[in-house]
Amino acid sequence: MTGMVLAVGALALINLVYKGVGPAVLGDRRFPPRVQEMIDALPVALLAGLVIVNLLGERWAAVDVTVVPGLLAAAVAWWFRVPQLGCVAVAVAVSIAVRWL
């Protein structure tokens, strides 16, 4: 039990340092154009990764084809300018419907 508590404390401290060190040290400094371009591209890379990782799961253990029609429906809803939460609701509804079939 003590080990578990220490592990939680250690992870909390690591997170605190990770998130705080950049802002504290760098301040207002600007990056060179190449670095800035990479930083600008990071959100898109991270989002694409989040979609795939959430879809597949670790070791692809969460692969579920019934999610795919839901995501496609969300993309179609997005194309028709449906708000973000509406797109998610469409994805959930379509996935539930496919699972019931």
Collapse the DSSP code of 18 into the 3-class scheme (helix H, G, I; strand E, B; otherwise coil) and give the result: helix
Judged by CB under 8 A, does residue 80 bind other proteins? Answer: no
- Residue (96 or 101) nearer to other proteins, CB: 96
Dihedral sign (CA 82, 95, 46, 12) = positive
Q: Which of residues 28-67 bind other proteins (CB under 8 A)?
A: 28-31, 33-60, 62, 64, 67
- Residue (84 or 101) nearer to other proteins, CB: 84
Least CB distance to other proteins at residue 40 (A): 5
Q: Of the candidates 99, 37, 22, which has an alpha carbon nearest to the alpha carbon of residue 67?
A: 99
Judged by CB under 8 A, does residue 4 bind other proteins? Answer: yes
Q: DSSP labels for 67-98?
A: HHHHHHHHHHHHHTT--HHHHHHHHHHHHHHH
Least CB distance to other proteins at residue 51 (A): 5
